[in-house]
Amino acid sequence: MAMEGLRTGWRCFSLAFRREVHTAFRKPIIHWLGWCFPLLLFGIIGSNFSEGTLLELPVAVVDNDNSPLSHQLVRKLDAGSHAQLFAATGGLAEAKERLSSAQIYGIVYIPLDFAADALAGRQPQVTFYYNALFYGAGLYSTQDFSALMAELNSSYRSIVAARTGKTVPALALATLSYDSLFNASGSYVYYQQFAATIHLLQLFVVTCMIYVLARSKPLIYSSSFSLSLLGKIAPYTLCYTVLLMVELALLVWIFDARVVGNPIYMLLVGFFYVMAAQSIGLLLFTFTGSAITAYTLMGILVGIALTFSGTVFPTLSMPPVAQLISNIEPLTHALSAMFDIFLRQVPGKPVISVCAILLMYPLAAALLVRKRLPARLRKQEVVA
C-alpha cells in the first residue's frame, strides 16, 4: 500500500515536471524571466562595475594662488587614480553650482597666497568639498587627497624650518598600520555587484513563481496535489540555481573575481535560497486575490529585502525592530553566507546552518498554503 502510494506520488511528480519543462520551452516569457532578462541585467550591472572600483571621478579645481606649489598639488592629485581634475574658470561659485547639479563630485579650493603662507609657516588651508548626497562616489573622489597633503607637509617642513632659521626637532616614528581583511582591493565586484546579482535573482524567482502558479489550475485535479505542485516548480528551482552559478562563474572568468571558499557550498546555499524565494512567491500568490496584487506586493517585499539585507545599511547598526525584519528576510542569510564563501575559507557547519534556515521558508510556506492554495487555484482569474 505504501509502495503504491509512493509510485503514484512519483508518477504525479514526474508527469508535472515533464509537462512544465515542455511548456516552459514553448513560452518566450519563461525564457525572458528564466535567463534572458537576468543575464542582460547582469551584463549591464557588470559594465557599471567593470573597473572594480570608482576611478577618475570629475573634480573641479579653484586655484586662487597659481603658484608652483599649487600647481604641484593639482598635478599630483590629478595623477592619482580616484579624481580627474579640471580648472573651474568661473571661480568657487561656478564650481559649487556644478557640484549641486551633479556635474562633478568634488571641489579643491586653494586659497590666495597659499605658497607664500606655506613657506612662511603660517599653515594655509586647502579645502576639498564633496557632495555627501553621492554617498560612496563623493567620498571616493577624496581618497588621494589626505595622503598627498601629508606628503606635502612632510616635504616642506624642512624647507620652512630652514627659511625661518629654526631647527626641526626629531619626531617619534609612531606609525599606524591597518589592513583590509578579505577584500583588500576594495573592489565592488566582491560586494555591490555580487549583492546585486543575488538580490535580482530573488526578483525574477518570485515573479516567475507567481506567473507559473497563476496558470496552474489543472493541478487541483491531480491525484497527488502536493507532489504535482513540487514537480511543476522543480524545473524553475533547478533553472535559477544553475543561473546563479553561471552568473557567479562569470564574475570569476570575466571580472577576475576569486572564490576563496568551497564552490560546492555556494551551490548548496544558492539551491536553498532559490527555494526560499519560491516560497515567497507561493505565499504571495496564495494569500492575494489576483496575480496583479501579488506582483505589486512582490515589488514592496523585494524593496524591503534590499533595504534590510545589510547591503545598504549594516545590520549591526540597525535598531532591534529593523534587525528583526532583516533576519526574517531570506536574502539576509543568503548574502551573509555567500559573502563568507566568496571572500574567505569557511567550514561546512555554518553553511549547513544557513541552508537549514533557508529550508524553513518552504516548509513554513507548505504548512500555510496546504489548504488555501487549492481553493485559490479554483478561483477564476483572467490570465494572458
Each residue of 193-251: pLDDT tens digit?
788 889 999 999 999 999 999 999 888 888 889 999 999 999 999 999 999 999 989 88
Residue 4 cell numbers, joined: 503504491
* Confidence check: pLDDT of 105 > 90: no
The whole-number pLDDT of residue 184 equals: 45
Q: How far apart are CA 325 and CA 303, in angstroms?
A: 12
Provide the CATH number for the domain formed by 57-164 in this structure. Answer: 3.40.1710.10
Strand residues in 20-170 grouped as ranges (E):
57-63, 83-87, 106-110, 127-130
**Residue 210: what pLDDT?**
95
Mean pLDDT, residues 66-71: 83
**What spatial distance separates the first Cα and last Cα of the chain, rounded to whole Å?**
42
pLDDT tens, residue by residue, 330-342: 999 999 899 889 8
C-alpha–C-alpha distance, residues 285 and 377, integer Å: 9
pLDDT at 183 > cutoff 60: no
Report how far residue 353's alpha carbon sits from residue 135's, in angstroms, rounded to the nearest whole number: 34
The string of pLDDT tens digits covering residues 249-286 is 988 888 777 788 899 999 999 999 999 999 999 999 99
Q: Among 179, 133, 126, 148, which residue's Cα sits nearest to residue 82?
A: 148
Domain ranges of the chain: 19-50+185-378, 57-164
Looking at residue 99, its pLDDT comes to: 82
Taking 70 as the threshold, does the pLDDT of residue 114 lie above it? yes
Inter-residue contact 108 to 128 (CB < 8 Å): yes
**pTM for the structure as a whole:** 0.77
